[in-house]
Structure formats: structure tokens, C-alpha cells
Amino acid sequence: MINARSRHALAASLLLALWATACEAEPEPPAGPTIKIRDQVVALEITSTRAEQSRGLGGRDELPWHHGMLFEYPSPRFPGFWMKDMRFDIDIVWIREGRIVDISHRVPHFDDGPGPTIRPRELTDTVLEVPAGYAQAHGWRIGDRATLDRGTPDDGEKAKPRS
């Protein structure tokens, strides 16, 4: 017969084993384009037309955790972003030459219009939108490197990351 002390020790051992197994499991890397900031890899949807950039995440119900939308510009600028037709809050990460230059945390959506225009404090050539709280949850800071990987092209060769 197992006494109470032995049962507690057995339960603690099982919980420790389950926790260790969960910690060792490597998440499956996302397919397609990604951006890596610190040790966090975010699956991307990259806007490629002015219409896609204008629409952004508007009209969607959510942006899953570990996912983002990327906007690229041919030269550094102070782009203005608004929350037109947004249904959820986001973080906006402003990037120039592969480094974070500003972060707008928890930008709120507005049910009755686009709200104010949000701009970075520094010139930027790339903008990343992620779920609200994501940047802070992962400790992202100004100066962090942001490495873009466009995924694997059709010919099977790895695309050269832009950073």
C-alpha cells in the first residue's frame, strides 16, 4: 500500500517529467515568410500592393499570436498608420535597416472610425503589426535586430533575408 508521502512524491515526479517534456519540445517553424526578433520567430503576411497596405488588418476579427503583417517601403520615411475597420488592438513595430527604431504598444482600435494616425518617432523602412502585447511579452526593445526571411522560393533555394 502506498502512503500519502509516496503518493505526493510520485505525483510531483510525474508533473516534473511532463513539464520537462513540454519544455524540450521545439515548436514547428512556420512555413513561408518570417521575421525573427530576439529568439522569437513570427509568421508573416507581407503586403505587396498599395491596396493591401491601405487595407492592412482592417476587417479581420483577429491576428493569431506568433503572426504578423509586414509593410515594406523602398526608402526610409515616417509612414502614417490608422486603425480603419480594425476590430482588435495591435502593437506596431517600426524598423529601419533591420533594427527596431520605435514601438507603438497596444494601439487601440476604434469602433466609430479610424482613430488617430500613428507615426514612428524615427524614419522607418519596414513596419510590423503584431497582436497587442506581443512586443512587450517577448521583451522587444529599440535597437533589437529584426531578421526577415522571405521563405523558400519555388526553385528550392533559400531566399536571401533582408535585414
**Residue labelled with grid coordinates 495591435:** 90
Side chain identity at residue 66, one-letter code: H
Instruction: For the beta carbon of residue 36, count every other beta carbon within 10 angstroms.
Output: 15
- Encode burial over 124-163: b for 16+ CB neighbours within 10 A, e otherwise: bbbbbbbbbebbeebebeeebebebbbeeeeeeeeeeeee
Q: What is the pTM of this model?
A: 0.77
Query: For residues 94 and 135, what is the distance between their CA atoms, to the nearest angstrom?
Result: 11
Query: For residues 24 and 26, what is the distance between their CA atoms, to the nearest angstrom?
Result: 6
- Which domains, from first to last, does the chain contain? 27-149 (2.60.120.1140)
CB of 93 closer than 8 Å to CB of 148: no
CB of 127 closer than 8 Å to CB of 92: yes
- pLDDT, tens digit, 9 for 90 and up, residues 61-114: 999 999 999 999 999 999 999 998 999 999 999 999 999 999 999 999 998 888
Question: What's the pLDDT at 9?
Answer: 53
- pLDDT, tens digit, 9 for 90 and up, residues 28-52: 666 899 999 999 999 999 998 989 9
